[in-house]
């Protein structure tokens, strides 16, 4: 067939954007180039690729196209030879805000609860205490940071064989930091709620001088000459780092080069992921809190599986500097804790700009434990009648109404397009890994297929998908503009009634519905969410429900969750590890 001038312009636009051509053409040309071992595209390669693509051009046009392809290959090789450091992101920075969204930019004093607790006879009894209770013991010098650190280190070593949640123990570093915290507290230089509190970091956060493995055999000996901003912030606040906790390989799932991380509620079951270790270790009372990361469910899902309170903040709340990237426009860091107010305590330290991750906004996190939640607009996603709701979710709605709140319906718009497309960004971050052939060293080499597949996505189509993403964000903003916080109860079938929310691999597939559609939309729109324990299955495993808010509404979100948790107490339950 012969192409029209319009078709030729469209084709050349794709060709120029990739240096390779249309959606089919890149793979054909790339395959021929790789198979031949030649350094450049030849006219014969282009003719074969055009024939398979159903396109036809004149000899002069083909000559120009070959020249253009090879010019672009030269440019791309020069960029690849640059060896861009992993902590460099593209200069375009995503914002979760859409036109007309209002956020509070006035900074207000932080107001936390002030518990009054006494040290128990056996220190191990505080292993599952909320962070704020531990902070009171430390501030009043009923316990030392070194005592807490030794207790948690002992538990980490004791239960790691059963749960497999530690990649690297940091015992010496932890003891050093704990002794420093004790000296500062004794000298009346108390830094705040995290001073002397032991914590764990997902092993995609860089800690200078120690291994950062990204959960992959291909990187199991990697030591980065940098430190994640969040690690620095927590250290400066006096927190004590105990261990690098497991992540599913390259931030996917709960399997890493050391095996599978387990749920402390059921060791026959994985902890879900990819923040597998942070969820499992926190739920098992082996750290006071942990930092996880999420691109698409990696905080919410393991939090739900393990029964912890996990906050996925708004994109732009917390710096990702020094953290492995899967998507520069989706990745978020967040606290995984025992309660909503514990999450607020961690947020008060890490939710601020660092002048390294330029996507971070200087929007204050104004936590007030005394917030009158009856003045907030709280809603729920309308998906099904009460008869089709999971019993635990229905009970959650009733409990929230019992707080004096009139729940408002939230109708999620119809949207079926997948606009995430973050595989392109993942492929860019792991380009060196793919091109070097070291993917064969991975624990699961098939994980690299998603990166390779992204090479065939035209640049124009990728950008068009991001424009569609903005359109989706506008629709979601319109649908949620009448609420500050809202719940996402899920419709169920008899086969999965009572199973945990946000754990798709733990139960038979749910039917497609508003809640599932919303989950995809809210993730790509980068809305904040909290996975909250809300009951138990017949077999004694925790169930969970997610609360959401509009961008930068974490303080209101956590205030509603705190009130719910104070009224119900499900978050205070913990697994019996020695049973």
Secondary structure (H, E, C), 280-330: HHHHCCCCCEEEEEECCCCCHHHHHHHCCEEEECCCCCCCCCCECCCCCCC
The answer to whether residues 234 and 305 belong to one domain is yes
pTM across the whole model:
0.88
The answer to whether residues 28 and 132 belong to one domain is no
What CA–CA distance (Å, rounded) separates 537 from 448?
A: 36
End-of-domain residue from the set 82, 113, 143: 82
Q: For position 28, what pLDDT does the model report?
A: 65
CA 114 to chain centre: 30
Q: Is residue 346 part of a domain?
A: yes
Q: Is residue 99 part of a domain?
A: no
Tell which residue, 545, 576, 542, 569, has the closest CA to residue 306: 542
- Active-site residues, by number, are 202, 274, 298
End-of-domain residue from the set 23, 56, 82: 82
* Residue 528, domain CATH: 3.90.1300.10
For residue 454, the surrounding DSSP H or E stretch is helix 449-454
pLDDT along the chain (579 residues), means of 10: 42 42 55 73 85 80 85 78 88 93 95 97 97 98 98 98 98 98 98 98 98 98 97 98 98 98 97 98 98 98 98 98 97 98 98 96 97 98 82 96 97 90 91 92 93 83 92 97 95 43 36 83 97 96 97 98 98 91
Q: Is residue 173 part of a domain?
A: yes
Tell which residue, 175, 251, 166, 250, has the closest CA to residue 200: 166
Q: For position 384, what pLDDT does the model report?
A: 67
Structural domain count, the chain:
2
Q: Is residue 434 part of a domain?
A: no
Question: 25-36 and 43-53 are packed helices; what angle lies between their axes, rounded to 10 degrees?
Answer: 150
The answer to whether residues 76 and 134 belong to one domain is no
CA 202 to chain centre: 11
The residue range of the domain holding 146 is 128-415+468-572
Q: For position 545, what pLDDT does the model report?
A: 97
Q: Is residue 163 part of a domain?
A: yes
Residue 43 near residue 68, CB atoms below 8 Å: no
> Where on the phi/psi map is residue 57: left (φ > 0), alpha (ψ -120 to 50), or beta?
beta
The answer to whether residues 145 and 35 belong to one domain is no
End-of-domain residue from the set 51, 82, 113: 82
Residue 210 near residue 171, CB atoms below 8 Å: no
The answer to whether residues 143 and 203 belong to one domain is yes
* Helix, coil or strand: residue 215: coil
* Helix, coil or strand: residue 113: coil
Question: What's the start-to-end Cα distance of the chain, in Å?
Answer: 73
The answer to whether residues 39 and 168 belong to one domain is no
């Amino acid at each position: 067939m012969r192409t029209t001038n319009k078709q030729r312009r469209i084709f050349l636009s794709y060709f120029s954007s990739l240096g390779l051509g249309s959606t089919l053409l890149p793979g054909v040309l790339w395959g021929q180039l790789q198979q031949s071992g030649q350094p450049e595209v030849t006219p014969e390669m282009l003719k074969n690729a055009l024939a398979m693509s159903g396109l036809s051009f004149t000899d002069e046009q083909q000559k120009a196209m070959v020249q253009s392809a090879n010019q672009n290959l030269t440019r791309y090789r020069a960029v690849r030879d640059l060896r861009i450091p992993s902590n460099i992101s593209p200069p375009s920075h995503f914002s979760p805000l859409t036109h007309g969204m209002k956020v509070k930019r006035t900074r207000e004093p932080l107001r936390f609860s002030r518990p009054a607790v006494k040290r128990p006879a056996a220190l191990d009894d505080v292993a599952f205490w909320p962070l704020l209770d531990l902070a009171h013991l430390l501030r009043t010098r009923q316990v030392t940071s070194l005592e807490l650190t030794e207790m948690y280190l002992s538990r980490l070593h004791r239960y790691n064989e059963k749960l497999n949640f530690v990649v690297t123990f940091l015992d010496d570093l932890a003891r050093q930091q704990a002794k420093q915290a004790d000296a500062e507290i004794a000298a009346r230089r108390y830094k705040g709620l995290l001073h002397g509190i032991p914590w764990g970091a997902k092993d995609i956060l860089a800690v200078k001088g120690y291994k950062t493995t990204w959960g992959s055999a291909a990187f199991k000996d990697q030591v980065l000459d940098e430190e994640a901003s969040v690690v620095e912030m927590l250290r400066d606040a006096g927190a004590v780092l105990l261990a690098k906790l497991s992540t599913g390989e390259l931030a996917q799932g709960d399997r890493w080069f050391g095996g599978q991380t387990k749920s402390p509620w059921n060791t026959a079951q994985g902890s879900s992921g990819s923040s597998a270790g942070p969820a499992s270790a926190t739920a098992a009372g082996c750290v006071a809190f942990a930092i996880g990361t999420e691109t698409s469910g990696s905080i919410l899902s393991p939090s739900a599986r393990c029964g912890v309170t996990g906050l996925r903040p708004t994109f732009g709340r917390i710096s990702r500097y020094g953290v492995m990237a899967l998507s520069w426009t989706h990745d978020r860091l967040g606290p995984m804790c025992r309660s909503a107010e514990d999450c607020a305590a961690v947020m008060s330290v890490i939710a601020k700009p660092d002048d390294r991750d330029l996507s971070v906004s200087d929007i204050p996190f104004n936590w007030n434990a005394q917030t009158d939640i009856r003045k907030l607009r709280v809603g729920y996603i309308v998906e099904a009648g009460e008869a089709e709701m999971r019993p635990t979710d229905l009970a959650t709605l009733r409990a929230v109404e019992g707080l004096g709140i009139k729940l408002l319906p939230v109708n999620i718009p119809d949207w079926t397009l997948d606009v995430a497309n973050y595989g392109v960004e993942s492929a860019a971050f792991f380009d060196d890994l793919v091109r070097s052939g070291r993917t064969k060293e991975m624990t699961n080499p098939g994980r690299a297929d998603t990166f390779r597949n992204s090479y065939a996505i035209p640049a124009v189509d990728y950008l068009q998908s991001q424009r569609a993403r903005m359109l989706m964000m506008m629709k979601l903003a319109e649908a949620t503009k009448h609420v500050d916080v809202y719940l996402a109860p899920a419709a169920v079938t008899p086969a999965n009634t009572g199973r945990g929310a946000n754990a798709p691999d733990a139960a038979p597939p749910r039917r497609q519905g508003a809640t599932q559609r919303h989950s995809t939309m809210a993730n790509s729109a980068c809305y904040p969410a909290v996975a909250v324990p809300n009951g138990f299955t017949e077999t004694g495993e925790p169930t969970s429900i997610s609360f959401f808010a509009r961008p930068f509404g974490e303080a209101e979100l956590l205030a509603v969750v705190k009130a719910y948790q104070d009224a119900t107490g499900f978050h205070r339950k913990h697994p019996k590890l020695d049973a």
